[in-house]
Amino acid sequence: MGLPVQAADPTPVAPVTPLEPTPERWDPREELLPYEEVDDPRADDPLPGRAWIAWVVGAVALVALVLVLLRVFASDGDDVATEPTETATSPASSEPAPEDTTDASEEAAPEPSAAPTGVGQPLDLATTATFEVPGTAPPTTDFDGALVAYEASQMHDGLPSTTWRTAGDATGQSITITLAEPAVVSRVGLVNGYAKQVAGVDWYPNNRRVLAVTWTFEDGTAVTQTLTERPMMQLIDVTPTRTSTITLTLDSVTPPGAGELGRDYTAISEVSIVGRRAG
C-alpha cells in the first residue's frame, strides 16, 4: 500500500520564528557596585593650581636632610680620627702630660738682617787708610838719576806710576789695610803691577804681576778676585760689608820679567776701596 500523496509531497509551510523572551528590567544600582566605588571620575582631574609647590618644597627638604646627614657623618669620622687614644687620656696615668716649653722666638727662624748701607757719599777709603806690608824692596835709581822708592804708602797715593814692590815671588803673602774709621765697603780693586812708563821703557811687564787675590773683611767674609795682565785699575763689587780692616792676600803671581830689563819683584801700583762711613 503506498503512502498518501499529502504526506509524500506536503505543501510548503512558512517557517515560524520562535519568540524571544521579553527581557526583564534591571536596576543597575542593584546589580552593579556604586559608580563612585569602581570608577571615580575625580581621580583624573588635574591637580589644583598650587599643588605642585608642595611637591617642590618636599623635594628640597629631602635634599637638605640628606646633605645635613652627610655632613654629620663626615664630622663624626673626623672626630674619630683626631681623638686622642684612651691611653693618653686614661686617669690611670699619674704623670701629667709634659708642657710645651719651646719659646715662640726659638721656633721662628730669624729674619736675615738687611745689608748695611753706610752714610754719606761713596769715598775711596784707601786714600786715608794705612797699609802694613810683608816687606819693601830697597829704592833704586831711575834712568834720569832720580831716586825711586817703593813704599807701601804709594799704593794709595792716586798715582799708578808709583808702586809698592817687594823682592821675589810674594805668593801667599798678605797686606793688612786699616781704614781711618769703620765703613761699609761695596767695591775693591787694584793695579796689579808696576804701571810706569819712562824713557820708552814699560815697567809693567818687567816686574811680576799679581794674577789673583783674596779680600778678607773684619767679619770673616772673603772675596776672591781674578786679575788680567793689564796696567789699569781692576775693580769688583762686593756685598756691602761693615769693616775696619781688610786683609789683601796675594794668591797668584807671574814669573819675573824677562830680558835685560826684567826684574824679580812683585809690584802693586794702586789699591782702591770704595765705601761709605759706617756712621
Q: Note whether residue 273 is domain-resident.
A: yes
Q: Which of 187, 188, 175, 180 shows the shortest CA–CA distance to 248?
A: 175
pLDDT in tens, 193-237: 999 998 889 999 999 999 999 999 999 999 999 999 999 999 999
Alpha carbons within 13 angstroms on the beta-carbon side of residue 41 total: 2
Per-position DSSP letters for 3-23, written without gaps between them: PPHHHHSPPP-PPPPPPPPPP
With beta carbons less than 8 A apart as the criterion, state whether 196 and 254 touch. no
Q: What tens digit of pLDDT does each residue of 46-77 get?
A: 545 565 676 777 777 787 777 777 776 665 55
- Cα–Cα distances in Å, from 66 out to 63, 71, 178? 5, 9, 81
CATH code for position 264 = 2.60.120.260
CB 251 within 8 A of CB 238: no
Residue 9 pLDDT grade (very low, low, confident, very high; cuts 50, 70, 90): very low
Taking only the tens place, the pLDDT of each residue in 94-109 is 555 555 555 544 445 5
* Closest listed residue to residue 269, CA positions, set 174, 154, 179, 176: 154
What cell was used for 11? 505543501
pLDDT, tens digit, 9 for 90 and up, residues 137-150:
999 998 888 899 99
Whether residue 169 is contained in a domain is answered as yes
Taking the model in full, what pTM does it have? 0.60
pLDDT at 115: 77
The predicted structure's pLDDT at residue 52: 61
Name the H helices within the chain: 5-8, 28-31, 35-38, 51-82, 86-89, 104-107
**What was the pLDDT predicted at 233?**
98
Split at pLDDT 50, 70, 90, the class of 254 is very high
| Per-range mean pLDDT, top range of 17-21, 39-43, 54-58, 177-181 | 177-181
Count other C-beta atoms under 10 Å from residue 243's C-beta: 22
* 61 falls within a domain: no
Predicted local confidence at residue 268, as pLDDT: 98
Helix (H, G, I), strand (E, B) or coil at 103: coil
Task: Decide if pLDDT at 87 tops 50.
Answer: no
Distance CA 209, CA 265 (A): 9
Least confident of 2-16, 101-115, 174-188, 205-219: 2-16
Q: Which three cell numbers stand for residue 3?
A: 503512502
How many structural domains compose the chain? 1
Distance CA 144, CA 158 (A): 23
Report CA-CA distances (Å) from 167 to 33, 176, 211, 232, 265. 140, 18, 17, 22, 5
Res 173 pLDDT > 90: yes
Q: Which of 47-56, 106-115, 121-130 has the highest mean pLDDT?
A: 121-130
- Residue-level pLDDT at 220: 97
Helix or strand holding residue 247 (H, E): strand 234-253
Give the span between the Cα atoms of 164 and 157, in whole angstroms: 11
Q: Annotate 6-37 with b (16+ C-beta within 10 A) or e (fewer).
A: eeeeeeeeeeeeeeeeeeeeeeeeeeeeeeee
* Residue 236 domain flag: yes
Structural domain that includes position 165: 121-277
Say how far apart CA 177 and CA 214 lie, in whole Å. Answer: 13
Report the DSSP beta bridge partners of residue 223. 215
Q: Does 124 have pLDDT greater than 60?
A: yes
Domain annotation covers residue 272: yes
What 3-state DSSP class applies to 181?
Answer: strand
Task: Count CB neighbours of 257 within 10 A.
Answer: 22
